[in-house]
Amino acid sequence: MTTLTCAVVQLSSQESVPENLATARALVAAAAKTGAELVVLPENFALMATDVERRHHAEAVPGSGPIASFLGDTARREGIFVIGGGFPEKSDDAGRPFNTSALYGPDGALVAKYRKVHLFDVDVPNGRSYRESEATTPGGEAVVADVKGTKVGLSVCYDVRFPELYRKLAAAGARVLTIPAAFTLQTGKDHWAVLCRARAIENQAFVVAAAQWGSHPHGRQTYGKSMIVDPWGDVLAQAAEGAGFAVARLDFDYQDRVRAAIPCASHRRL
């Protein structure tokens, strides 16, 4: 396969799971109508809520819960691959579910899942503190999955600050790196685009980064700017302000030319 058409969906998710999923379903369908074969939803696409609410909505994956069922049903209805960028999956610790990115195929079945490894324990510049580890169990494995013959690496949000994860995905054959996120407004305005482009350039890979945007419950604000970046670091497509989507065609022949021109992978020494 020489091309793959991808879309990033940008949401402003709130506390109502049914309403968030209805918005996501409409945008996935619209992206599919433009020819998207892989659609990536942002982190917390199903709900932006308190830790108590997240625990309440944690599901088994695979499973028949409303969020996992939505992903499978939507992928099957549209005949595409869908990545649900981050939602609560039950763990052995009932108080700390995983933050899981799940890939579903056109038959509605789970293809792969990745549990967020790097958890956001940060005091951001506006004075707000985040302690994701208090309510989330970290994963421990890098995950690469097959989408129509192309290797796709999975990650979630804060992972983007850890280049060693993406180098591991690229070494495992990933041509496409997915980064669903809910980047804070304060960090996003300075770092989001830089980090997405850096992960693309250093791995000579396509980056498909879907983000939350706007104001959410409990005073949380996210940056948006969902984007698709090519292996040279150029932004192929970017979502506008608000809920919506952006689409781009990934050209793997072009990627091969970039990798041949500057063969970084063969020059590694450490």
- What are the mean pLDDT values of the chain's consecutive 10-residue runs (270 residues total)? 95 96 98 98 95 92 96 98 96 95 98 96 79 93 98 98 98 98 95 98 98 93 97 98 97 98 92
Q: What integer pLDDT is reported at residue 147 of this predicted model? A: 98
Residues 6+ apart with CB under 8 A from 48: 13, 14, 15, 182, 212, 216, 217, 220
| Structural domains in the chain, sorted by start | 3-261 (3.60.110.10)
Q: What integer pLDDT is reported at residue 51 of this predicted model? A: 87
Q: What residue type is assigned to position 10 of the chain?
A: Q
Q: What integer pLDDT is reported at residue 116 of this predicted model? A: 97
Nearest to 25 by CA among 78, 104, 65, 68: 78
Return the SS3 of 58.
Answer: coil
Which residues are 219's β-sheet partners? Answer: none
Q: How far from 240 is each of 10, 173, 227, 245, CA to CA, in Å? A: 9, 31, 10, 8
Q: What residue type is assigned to position 30 of the chain?
A: A
> Taking a C-beta distance cutoff of 8 angstroms, is the pair 184, 222 a contact?
yes
Catalytic residue list:
43, 116, 157
Q: What integer pLDDT is reported at residue 270 of this predicted model? A: 83
pTM (2 d.p.) = 0.96
Q: What integer pLDDT is reported at residue 245 of this predicted model? A: 98
> Tokens 């830089």 sit at which residue?
194
Q: What integer pLDDT is reported at residue 130 of this predicted model? A: 85
What are the φ/ψ torsions at residue 173 (nearest 5 degrees)?
105, 5
What's the CA gap between 34 and 78, in Å, rounded? 11
Dihedral sign, CA of 46, 49, 54, 55?
A: negative
Q: What integer pLDDT is reported at residue 128 of this predicted model? A: 78
The Cβ of residue 223 has, within 10 Å, a number of other Cβ atoms equal to 22
Q: What integer pLDDT is reported at residue 212 of this predicted model? A: 98
Tokens representing residue 114 in the block: 């990745």
Q: What is the DSSP letter of 212?
A: B
What's the CA gap between 233 and 228, in Å, rounded? 10
Rounded to 5°, the CA angle 29-14-50 comes to 135
What's the CA gap between 75 and 1, in Å, rounded? 20
What's the CA gap between 199 and 212, in Å, rounded? 19
Which residues are 52's β-sheet partners? Answer: none
Tokens representing residue 231 in the block: 């292996």
Q: What integer pLDDT is reported at residue 123 of this predicted model? A: 85
> Taking a C-beta distance cutoff of 8 angstroms, is the pair 164, 171 a contact?
no
